[in-house]
Amino acid sequence: MKNSPLVVLLLTLSLTSTPWAEDNHEHNEAPADTEISLAQQKMAGIKTEKVRTFSLGAAITAPGQAVLNAYRSSKITPRTAAQITQRHVQLGDQVKKGQILISLSSVEMSQAQGVLMENHLEWKRVKRLGRKTVSDKRYVAAHIAYQQAYAKVRAFGMSENQIQTLLKTGDASRATGEFQLLSLQDGTVISDDFVLGELIQPGRVLIQISDETRLWVEARLSPEEATNITLGAKAQIQVGSHTLQGRVTQARHSLDETTRTLAIHIEVDNRDERLHPGQFVSAVIESKQSLTGIVVPLEAVLRAADGDWQVFLEAAPGRFVAQEVEVLRTVGNKTLISGIEIGSTVVTAGAFFVQSEIAKSGFSVHNH
């Protein structure tokens, strides 16, 4: 029996459609890759490296608060009763070590300056005469009297340069009791609790200075968490949309009686001034518990269109291929993954550009 023309037509369409379907299927399963020239790689900031096994610690997340770095801070206080006669800096000013901050006038300093100048002259006279002319007792007594007078003026707050300038004048009328308090370090004036003309007592904090380029973040951990933290452990501090890098530099050994937590200090590079004392932050700290495997930078791992994680391998010079991976652990800016072999060359910077180029080539940016 002969087939009708309609049957012949359907059979023909069926036979011719099968290879097309197979070809299309093969096309969809082709590796997602792209060719990128060296010039393009340089322009896009693409970097690659061969992966090796590393250990990545578990992450402990804890609330924290930015505080002054006590090792980079100082307080300016008088050592004798005095009156403030002049202010040389204001709140927020950047100061240098040795810079004049406050001028003071003190009755006790005036008396000490007078005694110093008197003993200085006597000591110069005795030295000029020499041991052959004066007795040992007078020589030693003059030396001791000068040293004690010098030490007293120094203890009251005059710097060595200020003292030497006073002594060089040889003018007793300069013993007015005026002196200046100097900055002990480079930093920022973060407090200046005084007014001109105020009479102040020894030990009163007039100015506080701190180097805020290296702040502390004080994070509080449970005793169990604290046992897994070591000094020098890496930490990331989340400040709004920004992440700052830091290291654990101190750990207290006594529990807070109220919160029953242990405090640790994380030193943070704050040269961009994103962190301010008193600010609340979130700290992610690397613990001693670790996993070993392939560790890549966080920016090397991207989401594919279907939501799976993937990295990009350099299969040949200038040829980049998408490879699906599994994310096992992320700590800060490092990620532990599986799904690629040791020694594979992975895009560690510029992965987004590679992903975009693959997408433009018409591939689905996904490969099993």
Final residue in a domain of this structure, among 289, 310, 329:
289
Q: What is the CATH number of the domain that holds 236?
A: 2.40.30.170
Who's near 83: CB < 8 A, 6+ residues apart?
104, 105, 106, 197, 198, 199, 200
Let me know whether 263 and 147 are in one domain: no
Q: Is residue 14 part of a domain?
A: no
For 324-356, the pLDDT digits (tens) are 999 987 776 788 899 999 999 999 999 999 999
- Phi-psi map region of 299: left, alpha, beta (phi>0 left; psi -120 to 50 alpha): alpha
Secondary structure string (H, E, C) spanning 85-148:
EEECCCCCCEECCCCEEEEEECHHHHHHHHHHHHHHHHHHHHHHHCCCCCCHHHHHHHHHHHHH
Within this chain, do residues 284 and 216 fall inside the same structural domain, yes or no?
Answer: yes
Out of 175, 199, 224, pick the residue that ends a domain.
175
* pLDDT, tens digit, 9 for 90 and up, residues 91-101: 999 999 999 99
- Residue 365 within any structural domain of the chain: no
For residues 148 and 192, state if they share a domain. Answer: no
Which pTM value belongs to this model?
0.60
Whether 17 is in a domain gets the answer no
Using left for φ > 0, alpha for ψ between -120 and 50, and beta otherwise, residue 169 falls in alpha
Structural domain ending residue among the three candidates 289, 317, 342: 289
Can you give the pLDDT at residue 303?
A: 92
Residue 337's alpha-carbon distances to 52, 53, 220, 298, 354, in angstroms, are: 11, 10, 30, 10, 19
On whether residue 13 sits in a domain, the answer given is no
pLDDT at 279 exceeding the cut of 90? yes
- Whether 295 is covered by a domain: the verdict is yes
Q: What pLDDT, on a 0 to 100 scale, did the predictor assign at position 334? A: 83
Same domain for 91 and 203: yes
Question: Measured between alpha carbons, how far is 243 from 330 in angstroms, rounded to an integer?
Answer: 14
Nearest to 246 by CA among 271, 224, 225: 271
Claim to verify: residue 91 and residue 201 sit in the same structural domain: yes
| 216 shares a domain with 315 | no
Question: Does residue 1 carry a pLDDT above 70?
Answer: no
Q: Which CATH number goes with the domain that contains 191?
A: 2.40.50.100
Residue in 54, 27, 29, 49 with CA at minimum distance from that of residue 314: 49
CATH number at residue 306: 2.40.420.20
Q: How is residue 297 written in tokens? A: 């930078």
pLDDT band at 247 (very low <50, low <70, confident <90, very high): very high
pLDDT at 196 > cutoff 70: yes
Rounded distance between C-alpha atoms, residue 130 and residue 193, angstroms = 51
The per-residue pLDDT for 10 is 41
C-beta separation of 48 from 312 below 8 A: no
Reported as a pLDDT band with limits 50, 70 and 90, residue 31 is low
Contact yes or no for 314/347 (Cβ under 8 A) = yes
* Residues 123, 186 within the same domain: no
Average pLDDT of 74-95?
95
Count CB-CB contacts under 10 A for residue 329: 16
Q: Please give the tally of structural domains in the chain.
A: 4
124 and 168 part of one domain = yes
In a domain, 340, yes or no: yes
Structural domain of 95: 79-106+177-210
**Res 104: pLDDT:** 95
Residue 20 lies in a domain: no
Distance in angstroms (rounded) separating the CA atoms of residues 176 and 366:
83
Residue 204 lies in a domain: yes
- Does 86 share its domain with 201? yes
pLDDT per residue as tens digits for the range 50-77: 988 887 767 788 899 999 999 999 999 9
Q: How confident is the model at residue 6 (pLDDT cuts 50, 70, 90)?
A: very low
